[in-house]
Amino acid sequence: MINIALNWLKKGIAPIPVLFRDKKPAIKWEEFQHRLPTEAEVKSWFSMHRNLGLICGWQNLVVLDFDDWQAFYDWHPRYTQYAETYSVVTNRGVHLYFYTDETPASLKLPGIDVKTSGYVVAPPSIHPSGLVYTELPGRDIMRVKNVACLTGVNPAPHTQQARSFQRRPQPWQGGDLISNIKACYEILSAFPNARPTSRGWYVTQCPFHEDHNPSFWIDTNRGLCGCFAGCTEKPYDVIDLKAKLDHITCEEAIAEMATEIDWQRGWK
């Protein structure tokens, strides 16, 4: 651990000791947001401590902390050129390390905590759960990418166009509510610019990422859709799609879509 900490120090990043199987600092660390520790301090600390923390903001080091792998998968298709930076598997997701040419400002996006100050726990530290923070293969500390500004890798979320599903004017089909919702609402109605590719199949621009080459498929035969780029972890039906578009749960989507059906049917 001493050698790893010294390697970060040589790169101009301040390493600090963290308590074993913990995230709490083992020292008063605030001063190291403004100065590098000495080599003697680092050797003394890590002769006794086995967990490593790295100061963020120093040398404009920024870490994108993805709360879970799904948040990373949502980000990845848009920024594949940056995904080869130094990357660390954490207890729940992944850390991506960057240097920026400008002083980074604090940012927060859904599923992504942007570490522009404070510190992060780094490999080969051990998480309280027992998981070892691990570098992804081929992405060692020499591969921290430099970006001109933080917005290059962490811009405002992709703006989704408003989507509305047209309801087919048809009577209650009998049976369960879910089947009736799928019968009354069709996915294709939310994508007026979709173009047919074969019988019952359409493609259009994905609403979940900046899609210059249409990658969102719609199968009207089965009432399913998805993104070839990986924005959808499984084929979506019309309920799944509404939930993802509106950032609500499937249960909430069902309740909203059922309202019109129940009103039409006169059933409460």
User: All domains of the chain, ordered by start, with CATH?
Assistant: 2-152 (3.30.2250), 177-265 (3.90.580.10)
Average pLDDT, the chain: 82
Calpha distance 240→193 (Å, rounded): 20
Is 116 in contact with 57 (CB distance < 8 Å)?
yes
Q: Give the HSE-up count for residue 172: Cα atoms under 13 Å, Cβ half-sphere.
A: 14
Output phi, psi for 5, to 5 deg.
-65, -40
pLDDT: which is higher, 253 or 155: 253
157 pLDDT higher than 50? no
pLDDT at site 77: 62
pLDDT at site 158: 46
Q: For the residues of 129-152, what is the DSSP string, one character each?
A: TSPBPEEPTT--GGG-EEES-GGG
162 pLDDT higher than 60? no
Q: Amino acid letter at 55?
A: I
When pLDDT is averaged across residues 147-158 and rounded to a whole number, the result is: 60
- pLDDT-derived band at 211 (thresholds 50, 70, 90) equals confident
Is 85 in contact with 139 (CB distance < 8 Å)?
yes
- pLDDT-derived band at 266 (thresholds 50, 70, 90) equals very low
**Which regions of 35-101 does DSSP assign to beta strands (E)?**
51-55, 61-66, 87-89, 94-100
121 closest CA partner among 95, 151, 139, 101: 95
202 pLDDT higher than 80? yes
pLDDT digits (tens, 9 = 90+) for 7-23: 999 999 999 999 998 99
Helices first, then strands: H and E counts in the chain: 6, 14
Helix (H) or strand (E) holding 15: strand 15-18
pLDDT digits (tens, 9 = 90+) for 213-257: 788 999 999 999 999 888 788 899 999 999 888 878 889 888 888
Calpha distance 88→90 (Å, rounded): 6
Percent share of the chain, pLDDT over 90: 34
Calpha distance 193→196 (Å, rounded): 10
- pLDDT-derived band at 107 (thresholds 50, 70, 90) equals low
Q: Amino acid letter at 183?
A: A
Two structure tokens written together for 137: 């293969």
When pLDDT is averaged across residues 175-182 and rounded to a whole number, the result is: 82
When pLDDT is averaged across residues 125-145 and rounded to a whole number, the result is: 83
Strand partners, 202: 196, 218
- pLDDT-derived band at 52 (thresholds 50, 70, 90) equals very high
**Residues with Cβ < 8 Å from 34, sequence gap 6 or more?**
none
pLDDT at site 126: 93
146 closest CA partner among 53, 84, 90, 93: 84
Output phi, psi for 54, to 5 deg.
-125, 130
Q: What is the CA radius of gyration of the chain?
A: 24
